[in-house]
Amino acid sequence: MKPGKKPGKKAADFKRSPCPIANTLDLVGDKWTLLIVRDLLFFGKRQYREFSASPERIPSNILADRLKRLERAGLVAKTPYQQRPVRYAYALTPTGADLKPVLLALIEWGNRHIAGTYRPPAERLRKERRR
Amino acid sequence: MKPGKKPGKKAADFKRSPCPIANTLDLVGDKWTLLIVRDLLFFGKRQYREFSASPERIPSNILADRLKRLERAGLVAKTPYQQRPVRYAYALTPTGADLKPVLLALIEWGNRHIAGTYRPPAERLRKERRR
């Protein structure tokens, strides 16, 4: 792909290439990150132990790493909700929440091509597509 | 997420959970696989050396592994186009090509949130969305 035209970014600034797919995958292209985004976006989860309790059983070290990366990339923000020990509540930023169409596309593909995957109620999907 | 209802699949059949996002990520959730799908879908690439030549410089062992996985999962099919040594042309199956909405969503997110990423011509994007 050709380098982007926006000022302030040269091809050399990109990890791999100026391709928007490659750069997005550099942030969320792994088996776990989008599951955390899913939990924040669709299941209202906020706390570390809630992500931990999801059925995929994300390993604790991976969860900590992915939350840190998401925060550093500006997709997630955390605020302390408790002191001693300090605990954080996580939330998607608008940039992170804007991944919804990616998640909806993954849901649709999974439902169409992997037999037996969980199908969200049609009404819920319609609502999420509209928002 | 609750187990799916389709016959022939129980929660235990799934690697991590019956979540359609998790299961799709088990197939394509890494930094490279969707770039191969991109090359097949949008750039008409067919041959091993064409994927190798993409600007992200996918390492040869990863390329071989990902093509094998894509084939095993029924997303890509290969046909020999040369004997001695045998060489294969790769193509997306309808199941693989159906990942297009995922790629389009990744392009849109990347273009919106990562400054300077390559923007496909609007007319091309419109066409791809319609097809």
The pLDDT value given to residue B82: 93
Contact B25 A18 (CB under 8 A): no
Q: Do A38 and B21 touch (CB under 8 A)?
A: yes
The arithmetic mean of pLDDT across residues A49-54, rounded, is 98
At residue A73, the pLDDT reads 97
Number of inter-chain CB pairs under 8 A, A vs B: 180
> Does the distance separating the beta carbons of B25 and A31 come in below 8 Å?
yes
Confidence of residue A13 (pLDDT cuts 50, 70, 90): confident
d(C-alpha B120, C-alpha B125), whole Å: 7
The Cα B21–Cα A52 span in angstroms is: 17
- Which whole number is the average pLDDT over B5-24? 78
CB contact under 8 A, B119 and A13: no
Taking the C-alpha atoms of residue A117 and residue B107, their distance in angstroms, rounded to an integer, is 26
Which position has the higher pLDDT, B37 or A13?
Answer: B37
The tens digit of pLDDT for each residue in B77-124 reads 999 999 999 999 999 999 999 999 999 999 999 999 999 999 999 999
Residues of A whose CB is below 8 A from B9:
115-117
Residue with tokens 């996580």: A90
Of residues A90 and A1, which shows the higher confidence score? A90
Measured between beta carbons, which residues in chain A are less than 8 angstroms from residue B26? 31
Report residue B62: phi and psi, to 5°. -70, -40
Write down the mean pLDDT value for chain A: 93
Residue appearing with tokens 């410089």: B57
CB B27 within 8 A of CB B75: yes
Q: How far is B81 from chain A (nearest CA, A)?
A: 27
What's the average model confidence in pLDDT over B30-58?
98
Q: What are the residue boundaries of the structural domains of chain B, listed by start?
A: 18-130
Q: What is the ipTM of this complex?
A: 0.91
Q: Is the pLDDT of residue B3 over 50?
A: no
Please report, to the nearest 10 degrees, the dihedral formed by the alpha carbons of residues A88, A63, A65, B35 taken in order: -130
pLDDT at A105 over 60: yes
- A50-56's contacts with Cβ under 8 Å and 24+ in sequence apart are A51/A90, A54/B17, A55/B1, A55/B16, A55/B17, A55/B19, A56/A32, A56/B16, A56/B17, A56/B19, A56/B22
For residue B67, the model assigns a pLDDT of 98
Q: Which of B60, B22, B129 is nearest to A43 (CA)?
A: B22
Q: Are A110 and B21 in contact (CB under 8 A)?
A: yes
Residue that is written with structure tokens 């009404």 in the block: A123
Q: b/e map of B54-80 (b: 16 or more CB within 10 Å)?
A: bbbebeeeebeebbebbbebebbebee
Select A18-130's CATH number: 3.20.20.70, 3.40.50.300, 1.10.10.10, 1.25.40.80: 1.10.10.10
In chain A the first and final C-alpha atoms are separated, in Å, by 32
For residue B113, give the nearest of A56, A95, A106 by CB distance.
A95
